[in-house]
Amino acid sequence: MNKKVILDSMFGILAFFALVFTPAWTFNYWRGWAYLATAIGASLLYTIYLVIYDPALLARRQQVGPSHENEPAQKIIVLFIIMAFVALVVLPPLDWRYAWSPVPWYVSIIGDALVVFSFYVFYLVSRVNSYAAANVRVEEGQKVVDTGVYAWVRHPMYFGTLFLIIGTPLALGSWYTLVLAPGLLAALYFRIKSEEHVLVRDLVGYTEYQHKVKYRLIPFVW
């Protein structure tokens, strides 16, 4: 599995570089370098943690994409999310290249910090839930987790994703790309609604957990 992790990581890094620097059409783009160093560094640290402490969760996290979803609605939602995330990375370099909506340097630094925080939330999720797969399913032996970040919201992995959605355009230097955020939030809303239907149906004790932890995504909001 470690060989697969290394190959997937190398391919992901190369794809990431292409998505950032091709639309920028230059390597003289410090925001791109800073974002890639931040996102790739945080992702590698998270992956190394999983390799050492929870390889089963790492295997579950690698099963991502429409083909790994059992629910028809989730296949469509995941496809939309992947396309939106590609746009989230590709549009800011274009924005920076043509100076459509310049972002101050310190805002880009804040954006990188938000990206780091998102991966910190992913790490907190992984500490308490080894079944936090990248697809919607309930496995044999899976139990409801209500400790750690799950005591605050029912879907903390998606909560962490919010900071990635906001942080990426800012880190790469684009105000305009933030217009994608409502669409991604809507996709997360429908994914959560569909996922909770599966969890109520297949995961023993999830209904009781819903009564215990009221908020799905954002504490004190929803």
Q: Set out the domains of the chain in order of their start, with CATH numbers.
A: 2-212 (1.20.120.1630)
**For residue 212, pLDDT beyond 90:** yes
Model confidence pLDDT, tens digit, residues 4-42:
778 878 888 999 999 999 999 999 999 999 999 999 999
Q: What does the pLDDT read at residue 115? A: 98
First to last CA, the chain: 38
pTM greater than the 0.75 cutoff: yes
- How far from 135 is each of 56, 57, 79, 193, CA to CA, in Å? 14, 12, 12, 14
- Residue 161 pLDDT class (50, 70, 90 cuts): very high
Model confidence pLDDT, tens digit, residues 174-207:
999 999 999 999 999 999 999 999 999 999 999 9
**Mean of pLDDT values over 143-160:** 96
